[in-house]
Amino acid sequence: MLDQYVHELSDWLRIPSVSADPAHAGDVRRAGEWLCDYLEAAGGEATLLETDRHPLAVVDLPASRESGRVPKVLLYGHFDVQPPEPMELWDHPPFEPTVDGDWLVARGAVDDKGSLYMLLRAAAELAREGRLPVDVRVVADGEEEVGGTSIVRWVEADDRGADACLIYDSGMQRPGEPAFVLSARGALAYRVRIRTGTRDIHSGMGNAVLNAAHVLMRVLGAVLPREGRLPDALRVGVQPPSDEERAAWALLKTGLEWITELGANPYDDRALEEFHLRTVHEPSVDVNGILAGKPGLMNTTVPAYAEANLVFRVAPGQDVRSFADAAEWLMHAAVPPGAKLELLRDAMVAPAQTAPDERAVGMAADAFELVVGKRPVLLRAGGSLPILSALAARKIPAVLTGFGLPASNVHAPNERLRLTDVPMGIAAARETLIRLASLRRN
Ligand SMILES: [Zn+2]
């Protein structure tokens, strides 16, 4: 069986569906067509929807019996891949999938074709056997790696909805230890522009005239954390972790391990002990760039203009719009008379959260525990995942998981999937689909 899986998946991996490179736009489309063909062969009805960039594949695979009266399950993944460069660091050509020891090596072997393949194969097998117990809809995009949002717009506009969504696009921290990601922080990005006069002036006027760089520092200072916490106005809605979640942190990589591995340093004295709390339960802010005056040039001017960009991460439980109002108010309140602040909002993604006690989560966890032999640890992501936010807004419980490993080299040369995880991932998806059949909307 493993040979057949590797053979089918390799066929897909050979298509260089690099979404960031316009020269590969045709390949991204071909990868979407491959998915449609694969599921049509199992009785699915497929459509390749055009978007502004790369097409979206939507395939309905109806339940073997009582379609329309059984739960609806959405399976999501993406068929585009990261660029393979630098080529010279690959042991095998990235688009010529190669079995090397215990691994299948190719760009996309894990992120995300190899992972999505497990879902497709599980649904197709059940459909072919006449044992698919739920109405499956697969939706997959070809622009995940370039921040495409057509999948979000599709979820928002889809009238049919779903009772649950299963996504294979993350991984395990250790082999044989599955993890479910149930929440993600939201994101709010701004460009901050300060003007304090019509032109730069001689610093002989210093201390008498407004300096745009100084004003910018005050504006940024108004939203920066103190002792690891954003100002109270930006913490409305923050939910403390449950005892179960705190207990689960013991199973995860520690803050010290993360920070050391990244070559970084803790923000303050308590950043190590509060690592998991700060990265998933609390909101945060980071200034990503600052421009003011003429750094590097010895000069004696008072700059009249300064700008910065920053990103807030909004915690699950917080309302991103109220958060934005509060953040804008704090920044405006820090501006002295005479200075002008302009705030340009670049992105706004709501935080996403599926409750750990959702029935669909319990069923999927039971399925994984049975197949893998270990109950999945329930996690929250510190980053932002627009698809999870869109599903949360539609009240569709979503489980984000997968079988990639830290050694899978995702987004790096020699991306690889551990061969023994392929049948396991397929079996876990099969078992999850079977168990979700007893899910009904209340
Ligand atoms: Zn990726």
**Cα 110 to averaged position of ligand 1 atoms, centre (Å):** 9
**Cα 416 to averaged position of ligand 1 atoms, centre (Å):** 13
d(CA 298, CA 185): 42
What integer pLDDT is reported at residue 329 of this predicted model? 98
- Give yes or no for a contact between 111 and 169, defined as CB atoms under 8 angstroms apart: yes
**Cα 411 to averaged position of ligand 1 atoms, centre (Å):** 6
Helices (H), 262-319: 275-276
Name which of 204, 127, 188 is nearest 384 in CA terms. Answer: 188
What integer pLDDT is reported at residue 246 of this predicted model? 87
- Give yes or no for a contact between 395 and 72, defined as CB atoms under 8 angstroms apart: no
**Cα 384 to averaged position of ligand 1 atoms, centre (Å):** 13
**Cα 5 to averaged position of ligand 1 atoms, centre (Å):** 22
Tell me how far CA of residue 129 lies from CA of 45, 59, 194, in angstroms: 17, 18, 65
d(CA 153, CA 394): 12
Beta strand 98-100 with 103-105: parallel, antiparallel or unpaired?
antiparallel
- Give yes or no for a contact between 115 and 400, defined as CB atoms under 8 angstroms apart: no
**Cα 112 to averaged position of ligand 1 atoms, centre (Å):** 7
**Cα 78 to averaged position of ligand 1 atoms, centre (Å):** 9
What is the SS3 assignment for 241?
coil
**Cα 23 to averaged position of ligand 1 atoms, centre (Å):** 19
Q: Each residue of 290-326: pLDDT tens digit?
A: 999 999 999 999 999 999 999 999 999 999 999 999 9
∠ CA 34-39-43, rounded to 5° = 145
Q: Residue 442 corresponds to which tokens in the numbers above?
A: 């209340």
- Give yes or no for a contact between 76 and 27, defined as CB atoms under 8 angstroms apart: no
For residue 259, the Cα-to-chain-centroid distance in whole angstroms is 21
**Cα 439 to averaged position of ligand 1 atoms, centre (Å):** 31
Helices 421-436 and 2-13 sit at what angle, rounded to 10 degrees? 90
The owner of tokens 């920070």 is 259
**Cα 81 to averaged position of ligand 1 atoms, centre (Å):** 7
**Cα 353 to averaged position of ligand 1 atoms, centre (Å):** 21
For the chain, which residues score pLDDT lower than 50? 442
d(CA 351, CA 316): 5
- Give yes or no for a contact between 120 and 38, defined as CB atoms under 8 angstroms apart: yes
Name which of 414, 389, 415, 417 is nearest 402 in CA terms. Answer: 417
d(CA 189, CA 346): 5
**Cα 20 to averaged position of ligand 1 atoms, centre (Å):** 12
What integer pLDDT is reported at residue 442 of this predicted model? 43
The owner of tokens 């922080």 is 185
**Cα 22 to averaged position of ligand 1 atoms, centre (Å):** 18
Q: Residue 131 corresponds to which tokens in the numbers above?
A: 């044992």
Name which of 333, 311, 308 is nearest 213 in CA terms. Answer: 308
**Cα 146 to averaged position of ligand 1 atoms, centre (Å):** 9
**Cα 415 to averaged position of ligand 1 atoms, centre (Å):** 11
**Cα 402 to averaged position of ligand 1 atoms, centre (Å):** 13
- Give yes or no for a contact between 247 and 377, defined as CB atoms under 8 angstroms apart: no
d(CA 331, CA 170): 36
**Cα 345 to averaged position of ligand 1 atoms, centre (Å):** 25
What is the SS3 assignment for 396?
coil
**Cα 133 to averaged position of ligand 1 atoms, centre (Å):** 31
Tell me how far CA of residue 296 lies from CA of 29, 216, 289, 291, 292, in angstroms: 47, 19, 16, 12, 11
**Cα 340 to averaged position of ligand 1 atoms, centre (Å):** 40
**Cα 357 to averaged position of ligand 1 atoms, centre (Å):** 28
d(CA 162, CA 176): 29
**Cα 270 to averaged position of ligand 1 atoms, centre (Å):** 32
> What is the number of other CB atoms lying within 10 angstroms of the CB of residue 262?
8
d(CA 318, CA 327): 13
What integer pLDDT is reported at residue 285 of this predicted model? 97
Tell me how far CA of residue 39 lies from CA of 295, 403, 430, in angstroms: 57, 22, 15
**Cα 148 to averaged position of ligand 1 atoms, centre (Å):** 12
